[in-house]
């Protein structure tokens, strides 16, 4: 036995006991004839005290320890002279009579402290050292606790975890697949799943009724900041349900997590149609921790000779309450923000009300009462600053959404310890893709249209709404799903709309369409982005710090150096050759 207790366990009532501890040297302080060593493990930190007078041998040995040495000590627990109320073990210390160095350590390339001096690349290369730091350790502990609570909740409702295959078939729909060459079947490839979508639907056809899995998924996409080529989903599916059953069940899941993990009780989730989300927030995943809803001004701002507004398809504003004191410079800074190419607004108009009355950047085009009408519609009261964008509808909404989020951040309205979940409903079934000149499934090709909209499938596909729903938390989509098509004919029609030939549909999804011929039940489901959910519950928006061994923005694992070239022999066995390999 290497230890009798962990380094987080000893309290005053252990006083006088002989204990054995093992762990890492966190800190060494020499105070004259006493050397204090803090020893750390996953469970906490305990102070060891070595006294020169009573035990010169161990005192000398302790003075030769370095940071991150792995040690084992046996000694007596005693009450500390000066207690540390910030440490659970702060009432006691251990006076060791034996000290054994289990392993030495070189000086780590960065400090193993809550705030470290290591850069991103270095910390990823030495991830095993970075993971020793409390923030990362706590993130992974949180991830574990959330995973277990997800399992507990779903188990209590009769869901069962069923493992689906990782070596599946490549489908051209959706994002790019990672593929795996087959050695046994030359020229053939498996694909890694982007999600277990078709398998979970087949499990419903098979009668499993309630399925879940916390499962790795893969997408070979160009990596944006904070995207990972492999990510984890909480994947769920239910049979014999309507949309309302799914909303209740999974709203319950997130409510359970907020309660168990954060100690927060939230009421029923608000619901918003996709159309309203776009109208009020310019975005299908609004952050409703703060207001600043869009106010459309077309009817009262256009037609008075101000060209910027008159020529715009849409004039729309947000009211930044209490920001009337913004200086010229501050407003110019906002102007610059919205003009950035990735946002692309042409400019920014404003209006404010303060002790000097109502003032705007377009005073000269309007009478005071016309200005007052705008102010009234946007509820510009004393101290408020109205920020107005004008331009083509879709682009302007998107830009104002960005500005709203920017202002929310600036004004401290996006509080990481506040949780405002929301359902967004009634998504369009299809979206038109200019590039390919055809309809794409907004969710995926298995999403069912709303029954009352089915008659529009031929005449006006773009206006058909789907039985689809997203769960949004603090401005992030954390989950999304739909009620599926379970009728072969409707599924076939859907593939036709999406431009699949019958042959192609059969080749790619024949097994699913065949399955629908043998008694498919009504079913639907949802998938949560587990990495994102954990990060949000951890009060962050970057997922990388919540994954044990993440890849960098180029999809590279800097610690193990992957991907990397493989042997020529391996390539031959797999019946492939490389083209212009990078060396």
According to CB under 8 A, which residues from 517 to 556 bind its own copies?
A: 517-522, 547-549, 551, 554-556
Per CB under 8 A, does 291 bind its own copies?
A: no
Cα–Cα distance for residue pair 477/470, rounded to 1 Å? 7
The count of residues interacting with its own copies (CB under 8 A) is: 126
Contact with its own copies (CB under 8 A) among 170, 361, 370, 476: 170
476-483 and 385-391 strand pairing: unpaired
Q: Is residue 218 involved in binding its own copies (CB under 8 A)?
A: yes
Q: How many whole angstroms separate alpha carbon 265 and alpha carbon 413?
A: 20
Site string for its own copies, 481-500 (x = CB under 8 A): -----xx-------------
Stretch that binds its own copies, among 197-205, 276-284, 303-311, 401-409 (CB under 8 A): 197-205
Among the residue ranges 77-85, 191-199, 287-295, 456-464, the one whose residues contact its own copies (CB under 8 A): 191-199
Q: Which residue, 311 or 507, is less far from its own copies as judged by CB?
A: 507
Rounded CA separation 331/93 (Å): 57
116 token code pair:
């470290």
Nearer to its own copies, 306 or 486 (CB): 486
Site for its own copies in 79-118 (CB under 8 A): 102-106, 108
Taking the C-alpha atoms of residue 352 and residue 382, their distance in angstroms, rounded to an integer, is 8
Report if residue 164 touches its own copies, rule: CB under 8 A: yes
Kindly state the smallest distance separating residue 112's Cβ from its own copies, in Å: 9
Residue 33 interacts with its own copies (CB under 8 A): yes or no: no
Is 47 a known ligand-binding residue?
A: no
Minimum CB–partner distance for residue 155 and its own copies (Å): 6
Helix (H, G, I), strand (E, B), or coil: what is residue 45?
Answer: strand
Cα-based distances in Å from 317 to 160, 300, 333, 391 = 48, 12, 17, 12
Q: Give, as one character, the DSSP assignment of residue 411.
A: T
CA-to-CA distance for 569 and 576, rounded, in angstroms?
10
If the CB atoms of residues 86 and 103 are measured against its own copies, the closer one turns out to be 103
> What are the angstrom distances between the C-alpha of 124 and each of 99, 105, 160?
33, 19, 36
**How many beta carbons lie within 10 A of that of residue 103, not counting itself?**
9
We find the least distance from the C-beta atom of residue 175 to its own copies, in angstroms, to be: 12
Distance CA 211, CA 204 (A): 8
Locus of tokens 């979508």:
197
**Counting contacts by CB under 8 A, is residue 573 touching its own copies?**
yes
**SS3 state of residue 492:** helix
If DSSP codes are grouped into helix, strand and coil, which group holds residue 226? coil
The number of residues in the chain equals: 583
Which residues, 431 to 490, sit near its own copies by CB under 8 A?
486-487
Site for its own copies in 131-150 (CB under 8 A): 131-132, 137, 140-141, 143-144, 147-148
Within residues 244-273, the interface with its own copies by CB under 8 A covers 245
Is residue 402 a known part of a binding site? no
For residues 525 and 146, give the distance between their C-alpha atoms in angstroms, rounded to a whole number: 20
In this complex, which beta carbon is closest to its own copies, that of residue 66 or of residue 416? 66
Q: Is 477 annotated as a binding residue?
A: yes
Residue 72, marked binder: no
Examine residue 548 and say whether the peptide bond preceding it is cis (omega within 30 degrees of 0): no
369 forms part of the interface with its own copies (CB under 8 A):
no
220 assigned to a ligand binding site: yes
State the Cα–Cα distance between residues 236 and 199, nearest whole angstrom. Answer: 11
Q: With binding defined as CB under 8 A, does residue 34 bind its own copies?
A: no
Distance CA 367, CA 466 (A): 46
Ramachandran angles phi, psi of 489, nearest 5°:
-65, -45
Q: In whole angstroms, how far apart are CA 294 and each of 42, 300, 401, 402, 545?
A: 48, 15, 9, 12, 34
414 is in an annotated binding site: no
Contact segment (CB under 8 A) with its own copies among 278-286, 334-342, 423-431, 510-518 equals 510-518
Q: What is the DSSP letter of 423?
A: E
Candidate segments 261-269, 293-301, 339-347, 565-573, binder of its own copies by CB under 8 A: 565-573
Q: Where in 8-27 is the site for its own copies (CB under 8 A)?
A: 22-24
For residue 239, with 0-12 CB atoms within 10 Å meaning exposed, 13-18 middle and 19 or more buried, which class applies? buried
Is 55 a known ligand-binding residue? no
Give CA–CA dist 96/93, Å, rounded.
9
Which of residues 60, 79, 120, 155 is near its own copies by CB under 8 A?
155
Exactly one of 115, 163, 417, 452 binds its own copies (CB under 8 A); that residue is 163
Pick the stretch among 154-162, 285-293, 360-368, 398-406 that binds its own copies (CB under 8 A). 154-162
**183-191, 326-334, 372-380, 419-427 -> range binding its own copies (CB under 8 A):** 183-191
- Exactly one of 38, 41, 93, 235 binds its own copies (CB under 8 A); that residue is 41
Q: Are the C-beta atoms of 195 and 177 separated by less than 8 Å?
A: no
The smaller minimum CB distance to its own copies, of residues 132 and 353, is found at: 132
Nearest-approach distance from CB 243 to its own copies, in angstroms:
12
**Which residues fall in the annotated binding site for L-aspartate?**
173, 219, 443, 484
**Which residues fall in the annotated binding site?**
173, 219-221, 228, 443, 477, 484, 529-532
**Which residues fall in the annotated binding site for ATP?**
219-221, 228, 477, 529-532
């Amino acid at each position: 036995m290497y230890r009798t207790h962990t380094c987080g366990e000893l309290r005053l009532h252990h006083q006088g006991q002989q204990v054995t501890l093992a762990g890492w040297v966190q800190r060494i302080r020499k105070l004259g004839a006493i050397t204090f060593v803090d020893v750390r493990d996953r469970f906490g930190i305990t102070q060891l005290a070595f006294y020169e007078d009573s035990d010169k041998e161990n005192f000398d040995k302790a003075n030769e320890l370095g940071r991150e040495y792995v040690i084992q000590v046996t000694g007596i627990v005693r009450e500390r002279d000066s207690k540390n109320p910030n440490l659970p073990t702060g009432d006691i210390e251990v006076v060791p009579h034996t000290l054994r160095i289990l392993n030495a350590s070189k000086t780590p390339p960065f400090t193993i402290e809550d705030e470290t001096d290591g850069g991103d690349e270095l910390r990823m290369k030495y991830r095993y050292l970075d993971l020793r730091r409390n923030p990362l350790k706590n993130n992974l502990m949180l991830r574990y606790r959330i995973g277990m609570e997800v399992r507990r909740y779903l188990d209590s409702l009769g869901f069962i975890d069923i493992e689906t295959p990782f070596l599946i078939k490549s489908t051209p729909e959706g994002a790019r697949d990672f593929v795996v060459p087959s050695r046994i079947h030359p020229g053939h490839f498996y694909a890694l799943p982007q999600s277990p979508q078709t398998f979970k639907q087949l499990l419903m056809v098979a009668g499993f009724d309630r399925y879940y899995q916390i499962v790795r998924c893969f997408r070979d996409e160009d990596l944006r900041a904070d995207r990972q080529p492999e990510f984890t989903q909480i994947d769920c599916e239910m049979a014999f349900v309507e949309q309302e059953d799914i909303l209740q069940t999974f709203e319950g899941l997130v409510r359970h997590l907020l309660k168990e993990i954060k100690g927060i009780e939230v009421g029923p989730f608000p619901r918003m149609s996709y159309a309203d989300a776009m109208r009020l927030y310019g975005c299908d995943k609004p952050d409703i921790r703060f207001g600043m809803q869009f106010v459309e001004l077309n009817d009262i701002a256009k037609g008075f000779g101000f060209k910027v507004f008159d020529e715009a398809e849409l004039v729309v504003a947000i009211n930044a309450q209490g920001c009337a004191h913004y200086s010229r410079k501050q407003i110019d800074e906002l102007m610059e923000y919205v003009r950035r190419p990735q946002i692309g607004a042409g400019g920014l108009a404003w209006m404010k009300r303060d002790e000097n009355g109502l003032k705007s950047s377009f005073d000269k085009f309007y009478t005071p009462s016309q200005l007052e009408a705008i102010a009234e519609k946007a509820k510009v009261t004393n101290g408020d600053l109205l920020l107005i964008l004008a331009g083509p509808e879709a682009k302007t909404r998107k830009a104002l959404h960005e500005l709203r989020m920017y202002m929310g951040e600036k004004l401290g309205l996006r509080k990481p310890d506040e949780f405002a979940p929301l359902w967004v409903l009634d998504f369009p079934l299809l979206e038109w893709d200019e590039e390919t000149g055809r309809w794409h499934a907004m969710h995926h090709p298995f999403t069912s249209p709303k029954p009352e909209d089915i008659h529009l499938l031929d005449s006006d596909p773009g206006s058909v709404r789907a039985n689809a729903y997203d769960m949004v938390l603090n401005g992030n989509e954390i989950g999304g799903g739909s009620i599926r098509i379970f009728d072969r004919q409707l599924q076939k029609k859907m593939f036709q709309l999406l431009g699949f030939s019958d042959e192609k549909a059969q080749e790619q999804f024949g097994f699913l369409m065949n399955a629908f011929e043998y008694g498919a039940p009504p079913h639907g489901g949802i998938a949560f982005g587990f990495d994102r959910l954990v990060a949000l519950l951890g009060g962050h928006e970057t997922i990388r710090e919540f994954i044990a061994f993440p890849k960098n923005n180029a999809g590279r694992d800097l610690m193990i150096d992957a991907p990397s070239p493989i042997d020529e022999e391996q390539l031959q066995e797999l019946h492939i050759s490389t083209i212009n390999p990078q060396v």
